[in-house]
Amino acid sequence: MSQYYDAIRVVQKGTKLISKVGKKPLQKENEVLVGIMNNGLFVVAPDVTSNYEFEYFYDAYYNGNWLEMSVYALPKEEIKNCEDLGRVSTKDLTKILEEHPPKTENRF
């Protein structure tokens, strides 16, 4: 079972990674990868650092269980401050992203 984090803190503190469709972004040492999974109503933030977890959530996205999937990177030390607070409404997260667009980085 996946570890989950606070989606709002992840998008505020993390870096949104851009990679090839269906491919796990390259990961730096001492970094955690977190998926931001959106079903149109709410968002959850599972740890997708392992290949198994990334593939599990990507397959669920590809098969239509999620409308959107983004991957964020955070240092292992920072992720400790992102304790899961449950799911977040898509509306609330969208507002935060509009007010404070995330840092992005290409990781092919």
Per-residue pLDDT, 104:
96
Give CA–CA dist 78/10, Å, rounded. Answer: 9
For the chain, give every domain's residue range.
4-102
Average pLDDT estimate for 93-107: 94
pLDDT for residue 2: 83
* CA separation for the pair 96, 43 (Å, rounded): 13
Q: What pLDDT shows up at residue 28?
A: 95
Cα 18 to Cα 2: distance, rounded to the nearest angstrom:
22
The percentage of the chain sitting over the pLDDT mark of 90, rounded to a whole number, equals 93
Name the 3-class secondary structure at 8.
helix
pLDDT in tens, 30-78: 999 999 999 999 999 999 999 999 999 999 999 999 999 999 999 999 9
pLDDT at 108: 80
